[in-house]
């Protein structure tokens, strides 16, 4: 019910943050590599 939906939203939000963090890390690594 409502709790399952809130739990799913929390998991999706966590995944979005995780993906964003990994992308930023790769971009930052690339900048350091080119310098």
**What pLDDT is recorded for position 34?**
66
Q: How far is CA 8 from CA 3, 13, 21, in A?
A: 9, 9, 20
Q: DSSP secondary structure string, 1-35?
A: -HHHHHHHHHHHHHHHHHHHHHHHHHHHHHHHHH-
Q: pTM of the prediction? A: 0.63
Q: Please tell me the total number of residues recorded for the chain in this structure.
A: 35
Q: How far apart are CA 33 and CA 31, in angstroms?
A: 5
For the chain, domain boundaries: 1-35
pLDDT at position 33, please? 66
pLDDT digits (tens, 9 = 90+) for 1-35: 788 999 999 999 999 999 999 999 998 887 776 66
Q: What is the pLDDT of residue 17?
A: 98
N- to C-terminal Cα separation, the chain: 52
* Res 31: pLDDT: 75
* Res 35: pLDDT: 63
pLDDT score, position 24: 94
């Amino acid at each position: 019910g409502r709790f399952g939906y809130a739990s799913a939203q929390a998991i999706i939000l966590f995944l979005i943050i995780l993906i964003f963090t990994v992308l930023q890390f790769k971009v930052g690594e690339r900048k350091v590599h080119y310098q």
